[in-house]
Structure 1
Amino acid sequence: MSQDIPTLFEWAGGTGALNRLTQTFYDKVSRDFHRRPGVQNMAPDYPAHVAAFIGEVFGGPKTYSENHGGHRQMVMHHLGKHLSEEQRRRWINLLADAADEVGLPDDPEFRSAFMAYVEWGSRLAKMNSNLGETCDLETEPMPARGWGVPGGPYKPSGE
């Protein structure tokens, strides 16, 4: 990407902003889905792992791939969870609320890219959650998301 166009990771506010996002999000999830198996047993550092994953997808450091197993490992976390469409949609709403609460940028370009990724990722997670408890996955490349504008990157509004 061009030197003068920030990555989604940079525009979001970097690691600190994504850590605040995922901590706030998982606090909401724990209240909203408190009876759901897996939610009450979530490791305390899981929100930071998810922040690292999102950060890498958005063009930040490769922390998740280097320290937590990459995309394949994230897929494995969802196997056998049997997520419903209602749950998927609730997660999207909770994540959008958390993004507002922690002050992620609310310009249309960023939020469009952010929510497009959330929509895509949540549908993939739901699909993977219904595959069963185990699955022979090939090494999956880490997804990469940018501004998503046909014809290439641009400067987001507000600059």
Structure 2
Amino acid sequence: MKAIPSLYEWAGGKEALEKLTEVFYAKVLQDDLLEPVFRHMSPDHSRHVAHFIAQVFGGPPLYTAEDQGSHASMVRHHVGKSLTEAQRRRWIALLLDSADEVGLADDPEFRSALVGYLEWGSRIAVINSNVAENPVNPEEPMPKWGWGEPGGPYQP
């Protein structure tokens, strides 16, 4: 039986995800609703996000090893930002437009997993943006996302 590739492999690996986030954040900086949130992002922001997604999607530990990031450090970037549902929805729309633009895999199974992850992660980002302290313990592992369901109801 043939091994099932990770979402990272199916997406095209590090280069594909870095291209995706590069195109995406260029769109974000031109968007009236999202630009105020991201106007002061570091020049490395899109690469760090690509590496986070890569690791979550089953790729190598780019975010934790190369970028010295963690799940807690990613969440910390959202704390206190007071993100809105409109911003969340725009973020997803622009990311999916960017996925189409860069030619990311568009088969139904991959896009279902991608959209599932974006919905899950962006909703958690909004929740975390409305708290004063980071709810994630520094030792908590990175999330992992695959081809199936996340495994039950959300537990704050």
Give me the TM-score of the superposition, normalised by structure 1: 0.86
1:105 is the counterpart of 2:105: yes
Amino acid of the residue matched to residue 90 of structure 2?
R
Task: Name the residue aligned to 2:117.
Answer: 117
Taking only the aligned residue pairs, the percentage that are identical comes to 56
Q: Which runs of 4+ in 1 moved over 6 A?
A: none
Task: Name the residue aligned to 1:70.
Answer: 70
CA separation in 2, counterparts of 1:35 and 1:145?
Answer: 25
Of 64-73 and 100-109, more deviation after overlay is shown by: 64-73
Task: Name the residue aligned to 2:145.
Answer: 145
Task: Name the residue aligned to 2:44.
Answer: 45
CA separation in 2, counterparts of 1:22 and 1:135?
Answer: 25
CA contact (8 A) 2:83 2:126 kept: yes
Task: Name the residue aligned to 2:59.
Answer: 60
| Deviations, residues 65-122 of structure 1 (Å, cap 9, x unaligned) | 1233211110001011100001101101001001000000000000000010000000
CA separation in 2, counterparts of 1:44 and 1:122?
Answer: 22
- Alignment: residue pair count: 148
CA separation in 1, counterparts of 2:116 and 2:44?
Answer: 26
Amino acid of the residue matched to residue 123 of structure 2?
R
Task: Name the residue aligned to 2:154.
Answer: none
**TM-aligned CA distance change 1:35 to 1:49, over 3 Å:** closer
CA separation in 2, counterparts of 1:35 and 1:46?
Answer: 15
**TM-aligned CA distance change 1:73 to 1:3, over 3 Å:** farther
**TM-aligned CA distance change 1:4 to 1:138, over 3 Å:** same
RMSD across aligned C-alpha pairs, in angstroms? Answer: 2.0
Structure 2 residue runs of 5 or longer lacking an equivalent are: 151-156
Task: Name the residue aligned to 2:14.
Answer: 15
CA contact (8 A) 2:56 2:145 kept: yes
Task: Name the residue aligned to 2:27.
Answer: 28
- Give, in angstroms, the shift of residue 138 of structure 1: 1.3
